[in-house]
Structure 1
Amino acid sequence: MATPLPAPSWTVTSVLERSYTLARDNFAAFFTVAVIFGAVSLVVNILSLGLLAGLVGLVCSVATSICLTWGTLQAIAGRKPEWEPMLRQLQGPMFGRLLLLGCIQYFVIAVSAIVVIGPLFLIPLWAVTIPVMMIERADIGGAFNRSMDLTAGRRLPILGAFLLWFVIFAIGAIVIITLLGHGALGSLVMWIYGALAGIVVHTLPAIFYVLLREEKEGVSPAHVVAALD
């Protein structure tokens, strides 16, 4: 029988605080990246392109996650990420594979929402797939498997962090829609609000990846991020 893991040295609250701090300290760069991709999605939605709008929105969400994951890893290493190097990840040799990985992951999680319980199982299971591929150069199958290995025994607090941010930002979105409606002003404010929420939530995969590597394998954050050099 496998020996149960001891209680983690981190808590859901400490992770939320760290994600907020990283977003705050790197606000200009993170927000610029999120707004750029959000603007593309906003324009496509305004044009009412149907299924194409959904596909573009999916790709923009994944691209945002890739760029902000890279930026978060840099920030964890004590560097100051800038928006231009983050956007240049779109030209990186692994971007196509990372994009495909993220699109598969996001799509499957979205479809799993049909049975309600699906996302609650898959989100923590696949929480660190993108940083796994980015740091360890894993293929798509390897990234999913490695994420499942790293998150084993820690999925409930991981899910808790994602859910708490979701609830907090969902309440804010409800307030905005109630006050401003779905018109032009409401859409503009929601675009900005979505970008603000994104720069916080998209830091979580990198944070959890570094914490889990340190906890389970004794690998320091500096050593983890050194693979990006």
Structure 2
Amino acid sequence: MTTATMASDKLEIGRVIQQTFEVLGRNFVTFLALAAILTGIPTVIVGLIQMEASETNSATAWAWFVTTGLISGVAALVLQGALTYGAIHYLNDRRVSIAESITIGLRSFLALFAVGLLYGLAVALGSLLLLVPGIMIAIAWCVAVPVLIAERKPIMDTFGRSAELTRGNRWRIFGLVLIYVVAYVIIGAIIAALSGAWLLVNGDGDVGAGPGEIAVNTVTNVISSLIGATGGAVLYTELRRVREGATPNALAAIFD
């Protein structure tokens, strides 16, 4: 029986969630370090710069907001590339180092930026026309970055390949995204509440401003980037498994 014959058609949401947290748990130190470097540090720097810029004239502030936003976005894409590489290799019983993962992310820097920019523009334009087209584009192209990293396809081909992999499972992916969004909101609310309580207990009534807000944003962003990027890599491998019968060994071989 061939691997293609063994492949099922439908994505299992529970399996994606389970494997995401398994990959995170088994690679926690490495992945947390990557998220701290590529998400935590940029978030702190962006927050401090924006605090300073908010006290200047509006034109300068907007320039800083745009610049720091781009820096943060690029770092997030590099992180997704690094975690995609690490997650796929883990699923093939091989662990990668922090340096190796970052190298892969940086090596794909320009392509990652192009894919992220085109993806963001397409989703934004689709949302301006009507909300539904934007959501459909976002779901169809949700594994474009893992495709880019794993299969090294030309930039424009990554979107078609992502659409091909997600076809037939987009409602399930949409449900998975909803679960992620709800979890993100809950985690953010818990962290904000704990931070606010700590500030009040310590006599600081300026809750949610300045360094406190930066700390909350940093922790929330690190957690969400860990789950989001790792989940994206796992989703990609699962889509290849259910649609093509691809094994982890076959997936990891493309990096050789």
Instruction: Give the 5 Å matches for 1:5-20.
Output: 8=10, 10-20=11-21
Name the structure 2 match of 1:182: 208
**Amino acid of the residue matched to residue 42 of structure 2?**
V
Structure 1 CA distance for aligned equivalents of residues 94 and 134 of structure 2: 33
Paired residues of 2:123 and 2:137 also in contact (CA < 8 A): yes
Name the structure 2 match of 1:227: 254
Give the CA deviation at 1:116. Answer: 3.8
Name the structure 2 match of 1:67: 82
Residue from 118, 129, 146 that aligns with 1:104? 118
Give the CA deviation at 1:74. Answer: 1.2
Paired residues of 2:43 and 2:217 also in contact (CA < 8 A): no
Give the CA deviation at 1:216. Answer: 1.9
Q: Which has the higher contact order (CA 8 A, sep 6+)?
A: 2
Structure 1 CA distance for aligned equivalents of residues 12 and 248 of structure 2: 18
SS in structure 1 of the partner of residue 101 of structure 2: helix
Superposed CA deviations along residues 112-153 of structure 1, whole A, max 9, x for unmatched, are 555543553223201211121222221111100011011100
**Are the structure 2 counterparts of residues 163 and 87 from structure 1 closer, same or farther at C-alpha, using a change threshold of 3 Å?**
same
Paired residues of 1:19 and 1:201 also in contact (CA < 8 A): no
Residue from 178, 181, 184 that aligns with 1:169? 184
Instruction: Give the 5 Å matches for 1:117-156.
Output: 117-156=132-171
**Amino acid of the residue matched to residue 251 of structure 2?**
V
Superposed CA deviations along residues 82-139 of structure 1, whole A, max 9, x for unmatched, are 21211112442x4321232123224543565555435532232012111212222211
Paired residues of 2:8 and 2:243 also in contact (CA < 8 A): no
SS in structure 2 of the partner of residue 190 of structure 1: helix
SS in structure 2 of the partner of residue 228 of structure 1: coil
Which stretches in structure 1 are left out of the alignment for 5+ residues? none
Indicate the RMSD between aligned Cα atoms, in angstroms: 2.2
**Are the structure 2 counterparts of residues 209 and 215 from structure 1 closer, same or farther at C-alpha, using a change threshold of 3 Å?**
same
Structure 2 CA distance for aligned equivalents of residues 107 and 202 of structure 1: 20
Give the CA deviation at 1:56. Answer: 1.4
**Amino acid of the residue matched to residue 43 of structure 1?**
I
Tell me how many residue pairs correspond in the alignment: 223
Structure 1 CA distance for aligned equivalents of residues 78 and 106 of structure 2: 11
Structure 2 CA distance for aligned equivalents of residues 63 and 126 of structure 1: 18
Larger Cα-atom Rg: 2
Normalising by structure 1, report the TM-score. 0.87
Paired residues of 2:115 and 2:145 also in contact (CA < 8 A): yes
